[in-house]
Structure 1
Amino acid sequence: MAFNRRKFMIRNASWMLMLVLLLLWEALCVGLQVPEYLFPAPSAVWSAGVARWEPILMHAWQTFFTTLVGFGIAVVVGVVLGVAVGTYPLVYKALYPLLVGFNSIPKVAFVPVLVVWFGIGTVPAILTAFLISFFPVLVNVATGLATLEPELEDVMRSLGASKLDILRKVGLPRALPYFFASLKVAITLAFVGSVISETVASNMGIGYLMMAASSSMDMALVFAGLIVIGVMGVVMYELFAWMEKRFTRWANRGSNSAAI
């Protein structure tokens, strides 16, 4: 009985913590009589979301679309560059410092440039999502390939395997756990990039909706937008966590191991 209770607690810990936080949030707002235009209670946020679900859904779909497109481009570019950087020392020495320097630049600084080049709309949001999310994929794929044991490569060569065979049959499978770990990080960053661009240079998306709502002091709608972004991020994160468990089960040693 105690074991079942503990298992139930572990399985539902996040939901219980969320419920406690929402109740505490509601109690603080009601008890301290915080004005809704400063910090709305969860009940006010819920009411705003229900009352305006159609525009929220429309803008959420726009953000979701731009995020997935930018994320998809980031995955392709990150994997290609990661394979090159992790496999060839010359490419690593030539390219990696430049990529680190590029990644150190705040991506919000690129938004005005992208607006000048492509105008206000979807394209800057897609490119911002790409720019902010491709680096984790690149680094993790390169790390997975670069940490391949030299002894294993020697054994493969002794069996007549070419460099391409080693990469295809050993290197890439070896890098899968790193790859899926990077996807969970990159998708959350992609949402950040999309919303940043939408707040600066767009007439669609959750970022634009939040900016429009904040300009009219409709903080309940702003928080509703924040929650929608959070929900989309959690759903995509859990999707890639499931894929990680499905395709890299061999990398999880023991029944108590859990993907983070």
Structure 2
Amino acid sequence: MPTSLTVRAAPAILLLALLLVWHVACTALAIPDFLFPSPLAVWHAGVEAFDPIMMHAQQTLLTTLGGFALAVVVGLLLGIAVGISPLVYRACYPLMVGFNSIPKVAFVPVLVVWFGIGTMPAIITAFLISFFPIVVNVATGLSTLEPELEDVLRSLGASRLDILRKVAIPRALPYFFASLKVSITLAFVGSVIAETVASNLGIGYLMMSASSTMNMALVFAGLAVIGAMGVVMYAVFSQAEQRFTAWAHRGAHTP
């Protein structure tokens, strides 16, 4: 059985192993940096452009959090409505599935026409790409309340609102926090997509500018920063999930 120290160190060990393989492959095959930079080249590019990267990363983070916050509010309210009302489910769910099937990059030119180039298209794109998992998970958590339990609560005098507030919503919390971990990573995708097309700030804009000059090391440095921010935000919501829904896991591993 692996020790707790080994389990905690496993991500860092795997990351170092992947970086080593990456570096050895680039060195052995003599791949030029403008095609596929080595980890050392990416590191040097990140150090040299540290201040611009941090400026653009801050913009991307704020944009992502803005779109994500909007997705949480809309997704939670819509998920509750879909989960408790068969009428709303039948009316809205097919439309939401169809809407979610449309590539969100297709909305960016429309958003540019409506709001111009800047932060707003990125916020809206982050919202559009991240609210659907919240709706689905919240609705699933509410709709899986056992009918027998609901019948017992009604026989004890509980109203529909009481059942929703005191039983259904608490039972849906694990689904809700699971959706947050998925949605925050999707929100980064939406922000960067919009920034590559309709912004003059953000990691997406930085990567497009770097790729236009064949500075692939800086492009990969931007990718690394996005990945790091995604991992940090995922960890934040994972900790929140363990704090508020520990009762649902009973000591089991939470991804």
Query: TM-score under structure 2 normalisation?
Result: 0.98
In structure 2, the partner of 1:9 is 6
Q: How big is the shift at 1:29?
A: 1.0
Q: How big is the shift at 1:160?
A: 1.2
In structure 1, the partner of 2:197 is 200
In structure 1, the partner of 2:151 is 154
In structure 2, the partner of 1:53 is 50
1:226 to 216, 223, 227: 223
CA distance in 1, matches of 2:101, 2:22: 36
CA distance in 1, matches of 2:116, 2:75: 26
SS at match of 1:203: coil
Matched, 1:185 2:182: yes
CA distance in 2, matches of 1:103, 1:224: 30
Q: What is the count of residue pairs matched by the alignment?
A: 255
How well do the aligned residues superpose, as a CA RMSD in angstroms? 0.9
1:94 to 91, 95, 105: 91
Code of the residue aligned with 1:236 in structure 2: it is M
In structure 1, the partner of 2:24 is 27
SS at match of 1:39: coil
CA distance in 2, matches of 1:179, 1:68: 17
1:211 to 208, 212, 218: 208
Q: Deviations over 1:93-125 (max 9, x none)?
A: 111111111111110000000000000000000
Matched, 1:136 2:136: no
In structure 2, the partner of 1:258 is 253
In structure 1, the partner of 2:166 is 169
Q: How big is the shift at 1:32?
A: 1.5
* Structure 1, 112-121 or 26-35: larger mean CA deviation: 26-35
Q: Where do 5+ consecutive residues of structure 1 fail to align? A: none
Q: Deviations over 1:125-162 (max 9, x none)?
A: 00000000000000000000000011111111111111
CA distance in 2, matches of 1:35, 1:45: 12
CA distance in 2, matches of 1:180, 1:259: 11
Q: How big is the shift at 1:7?
A: 2.8
Q: Deviations over 1:188-213 (max 9, x none)?
A: 00000000000011000000000000
Q: How big is the shift at 1:90?
A: 0.7
In structure 2, the partner of 1:121 is 118
CA distance in 2, matches of 1:98, 1:211: 34
CA distance in 1, matches of 2:178, 2:4: 26
CA distance in 1, matches of 2:216, 2:140: 43
CA distance in 2, matches of 1:155, 1:76: 31
CA distance in 1, matches of 2:3, 2:170: 35
CA distance in 2, matches of 1:210, 1:53: 14
In structure 2, the partner of 1:105 is 102
In structure 1, the partner of 2:59 is 62
Shift >4 Å, 4+ stretches: none
CA distance in 2, matches of 1:17, 1:230: 15
SS at match of 1:181: helix
* Residue identity (%): 71
CA distance in 1, matches of 2:140, 2:226: 30
In structure 2, the partner of 1:235 is 232
CA distance in 1, matches of 2:200, 2:190: 16
